[in-house]
Amino acid sequence: MSRPIKKRTVQEPPKIQGMKPIGVPASFLENVILCIDEYEAIRLADYEGLDHQKAAEIMCISRSTFTRLIEKARGKLAESIVAVKELIIEGGSFSFISDLIRCLDCGEISRFDNPNFIPETCPNCKSANIVHLNQWFSVGREHRRGGRGFRGGHGGW
């Protein structure tokens, strides 16, 4: 029997739920699922430019686990690009440190490190038309074509 997967620490939720190739209807595309912890590995190593040891410490995992995670994530990104597949970001074993909200009126994304204080209105324009991005990636939520989410309603959000 294998060991249970340890939750990986993720700074904040991704700002999108996925990406698809331009000019190809989603109904014609196969999916590649990039887990939240794999997304975080890409963000830390390739976007932030951190070495594997430092990134592993931030995610509260071993360096060797981080290396396996980043290799798997890079393979999925390559498959999505080369094989022309839709990239869906969801799932995995993770916990967020910060909360993000996005205003659907002004587009502002705001970060909150205190989960006990998340405003009900946009700090920028005071609109109540906001989305809590952490909820997009909550446990048990699955990608559904045509459902609410990045394709289902708010102008591509």
What is the pLDDT at residue 139? 52
Is-contact 59 66, C-beta < 8 A? yes
Chain mean pLDDT for the chain:
84
Mean pLDDT of 44-62: 96
pLDDT at 141: 44
Residues 6+ apart with CB under 8 A from 4: none
CB-based burial of residue 37 (10 Å sphere; 0-12 exposed, 13-18 middle, 19+ buried)? buried
What does the pLDDT average to over 67-72? 97
Phi and psi (nearest 5°) for 133? -65, -30
Mean pLDDT of 109-137: 84
Element (DSSP H or E) covering residue 10: strand 8-10
Q: What is the pLDDT of residues 73-101, one digit of tens each?
A: 999 999 999 999 999 999 888 888 888 88
Confidence label for 110 from pLDDT (cuts 50, 70 and 90): confident
33 strand-pairing partners: 88
112-121: pLDDT as tens digits:
887 677 788 8
Total Cβ atoms within 10 A of residue 63? 14
Beta carbons within 10 angstroms of residue 61's beta carbon: 20
Q: What is the pLDDT of residue 98?
A: 85
